[in-house]
Structure 1
């Protein structure tokens, strides 16, 4: 009867005397012939070691797997630590960049506010410059063409007792119109007051008129064109002046204020009323010499 042996490599059974394993092809060691049997167990050490070798092989595989898994875990932990460190660095840089962005934004807002303030200051300075330029022009005009008060006063003074003048129904107040000046009457009165502008010759006719009931009656004796400001209780500067002809049914608008004395020293102003009352004048004149004779002097 043939004996059975086991392959030391894979543990498969083989017939005694077989040189190679039929399962894995490895060489099978042959037992040495002995001259006399030994006392004790007859199983060879090789056949007794098969379960131990298989157990050791599985243990080695398990250890290798544990080592591989441990290495993978260590590598994963290391990579995770590196990634966490990089993420922390990125978060730190992001925080720094955000802080810088906030700083530059705040600076930008500050500069914009300062720019807005500077623009407002420039606009304010431009407005002041325009105002001062206008003032300078007015002062230059006043220097070149000063305006003077000839009769009465303005403002609160105009209605004061010291600037109140009586008017009667038959008489008139006569004043000269200075040459080289624009004549600009203004007044407030308790009765309607009008103005006639007459040349010296016309005033002689006016004063000597036989129809002397009042100024409107005496104006009928005047020849030629005279100038009239219609009767009113309130007259302002730059008032309308009309050119009239005795006997005409109406007068024609001539100018605002009276300008014919700017080049002629031959005019008088006749303030008149057909009722008894008072007048508070604010009569002014502005220097404005004409380059040639005007009115009766042209």
Structure 2
């Protein structure tokens, strides 16, 4: 057992040991960092943003698809409406045309009711020579439609009864034959000499009952009359009345 050193006594020196030789230090070789095969997961907020973006893209594409389908549907409906509109316009034109035709028909019927037209002489008759004649009365209050053809030259006159009587006297007095005297009285209303066709509307009898028509010829002919009258009374006296 060691005892503490007494005061004033020199301290005992510890034994000395030899110093070990210095060995040079070489740091260890730096090895390359290992390749990272694992990536850390993105933060939750980033995942939500990407999901929202993807959802927005999907919704946008879906909306564009719906708009495209709607556009095609509207275009088809527009084409159908255009065709229907064209068909309706055609039907309207036809209806308007039928309406105008019906109006004209009604107007014609009203006119015919107010002014009926009646055929009065349409049988072929013969004139055997210059001493023969055909005669017919012109009814009053009517327009007289004189239409006639003949197989040869004929003469036609519209006479008053007084002129016809004077023509008969002319024949009896030997002034001329029937073919001459019937058409050479003064102030005859109308005369056609040596013709094969007559087309004339006579109005002087619409207010006067004093006219007749006479046909004669210089030789034998066949007359084909097509005479009609239209009721059209004049508001006052006409012609010789």
Normalization by structure 2: what TM-score? 0.76
Cα 1:85–1:193, aligned 2, differ >3 Å: closer, same or farther? Answer: farther
- By relative contact order (CA 8 Å, sep 6+), the higher-ranking structure is 2
Cα 1:84–1:279, aligned 2, differ >3 Å: closer, same or farther? Answer: farther
Matched residue, 1:212: 176
1:133 is aligned, of 85, 103, 113, to 103
Is 1:108 the counterpart of 2:78 in the alignment? yes
Q: Please state how far the C-alpha of 1:94 moved relative to its aligned partner.
A: 2.9
Kindly report which structure 2 residues correspond to 1:17-166, keeping only aligned pairs within 5 A, or say none. Answer: 50-51=27-28, 54-55=30-31, 58-59=32-33, 63=36, 67=39, 89-152=59-122, 163-166=123-126
Q: For 1:144-193, what per-residue CA distance to the aligned partner results, in whole angstroms no more than 9, with x for missing partners?
A: 111111111xxxxxxxxxx3221233111111100101110112321233
Stretches of structure 2 that go unaligned for 5 or more consecutive residues are 1-15
Supply the distance in 2 between the matched residues of 1:37 and 1:208 (Cα, whole angstroms): 200
Supply the distance in 2 between the matched residues of 1:106 and 1:212 (Cα, whole angstroms): 91
Do 1:167 and 1:273's aligned partners in 2 also have CA atoms closer than 8 Å?
Answer: yes
Q: Note the aligned Cα RMSD (angstroms).
A: 3.5
Q: Please state how far the C-alpha of 1:294 moved relative to its aligned partner.
A: 0.8
Matched residue, 1:177: 138
Higher normalized helix content (fraction of residues) = 1
Supply the distance in 2 between the matched residues of 1:147 and 1:275 (Cα, whole angstroms): 33
Q: Secondary structure at the match of 1:169?
A: coil
Cα 1:213–1:36, aligned 2, differ >3 Å: closer, same or farther? Answer: farther
Matched residue, 1:292: 236
> What number of residue pairs does the alignment pair up?
218
Supply the distance in 1 between the matched residues of 2:215 and 2:95 (Cα, whole angstroms): 48
Q: Please state how far the C-alpha of 1:293 moved relative to its aligned partner.
A: 0.8
Supply the distance in 2 between the matched residues of 1:99 and 1:140 (Cα, whole angstroms): 60
Q: Please state how far the C-alpha of 1:36 moved relative to its aligned partner.
A: 6.7
